Amino acid sequence: MLAKTTLLVASLLAVTGCKLELPSIGGSNISGPLSVETVEFQQAGGPQCPDAPATTPDNVRCASLHLTYPKVLAAGNSQAAAAINQFIQAQLLEYSDNEGQPPTTPEAFAALFVADYNSVPDATGLWEMERKVEVKFASDHLATLSFSESGYTGGAHPFSGQRYFVLDLDSGKQLTLADLLASGYETPLNTVGEAAFRAERGLSASASLEEAGFWFANNLFKVNTNFGVLGKGLTFNFNPYEVAPYAMGATEFTVPYGEIAALIPDTSPLAAVAR
């Protein structure tokens, strides 16, 4: 990486205060303690960025980073708010230098990204990386964040991906399926999950997943851990390359709460949302 990288585009940091708009379920809003404001960061650098004189699509040589994420102002308590903000930053800044050390600020992330671009001798055109964190759902005790990433860093095609994270608003901790569902949930959840997956992909109940182009072990469907608690059910997402070739794209499907009601204990944080 080049130590003397010149940043050719000044960073843009815009903070817009906004009250979280909670989802509507059954025609009424669920109230909750979560309040956020949106932060946007954008920075680019390289030998020839778009704002430099005489830049054209043919001679542009630049790397650009764009981050959009929520800053939590309030959650169940101040400790939870701080923990959620720390969690968001850890996901947002996931990158590393040659020693494997992650950046600690958006500015440091941008500097690493630009330096990586400059370290590739034959790098041409525009490298881009965009990461966006959004609050997709919030209730009294939990919230679902969506983390999406897209961009291009050379190669045959761009990259993209998306992950959900379910967080406890009282502790700030990430919640897993095991935290929300009853013991032994795996088999019945996989059964209803497979039906929803097949419906989304237009596959009959008897169609071979392998012959349809999917890579499930032993040709047996299994939900992954990339799930979100949303208004109508648990939504799962399989990213490109995860269970199918890039050309087949991502697969997202929802398991309605009514189909897994027996798996949701009354003591689960999910109960108040699903009932």
Q: How far apart, in Å, are the Cα atoms of 102 and each of 67, 94, 95, 142, 174? A: 16, 6, 5, 28, 21
CATH code of 9-174, in short, is: 3.30.565.40
Confidence of residue 156 (pLDDT cuts 50, 70, 90): confident
Q: What is the pLDDT of residue 63?
A: 95
| 9 has pLDDT over 50 | no
Q: What is the pLDDT of residue 165?
A: 98
Q: What is the pLDDT of residue 216?
A: 96
Write down the mean pLDDT value for the chain: 88
Q: What is the pLDDT of residue 27?
A: 32
Return the domain boundaries, the chain.
9-174, 177-274
Mean pLDDT of 212-228: 96
Confidence of residue 32 (pLDDT cuts 50, 70, 90): confident
Helix, coil or strand: residue 109:
helix
Q: Which of 20, 26, 21, 22 is nearest to 232 (CA)?
A: 26
Mean pLDDT of 232-259: 96
CATH code of 177-274, in short, is: 3.90.640.20
Q: What are 160's strand-pairing partners? A: 150
| 25 has pLDDT over 70 | no
Q: What is the pLDDT of residue 101?
A: 87
| 3 has pLDDT over 90 | no
E strand or H helix at 80, and its extent? helix 78-92
| 54 has pLDDT over 90 | no
DSSP H helices, the chain, are: 78-92, 106-118, 177-180, 186-201, 271-274
Q: What are 143's strand-pairing partners? A: 138, 167
In Å, the largest CA–CA distance within the chain is 65
**pTM for the predicted model, two decimal places:** 0.86
Q: What is the pLDDT of residue 164?
A: 98
Between 25-29, 37-41, 63-67, 187-191, the lowest mean confidence (pLDDT) is in 25-29
Q: Name the residue type at position 163.
A: R
177-274 and 9-174 share a CATH fold? no
Between 54-63, 82-91, 133-142, 143-152, the lowest mean confidence (pLDDT) is in 54-63
Q: Give me the percent of the chain exceeding a pLDDT of 70.
A: 89
Q: What are 234's strand-pairing partners? A: 229, 255
Q: What is the pLDDT of residue 33?
A: 93
| Contact predicate 234/273, CB 8 Å | no
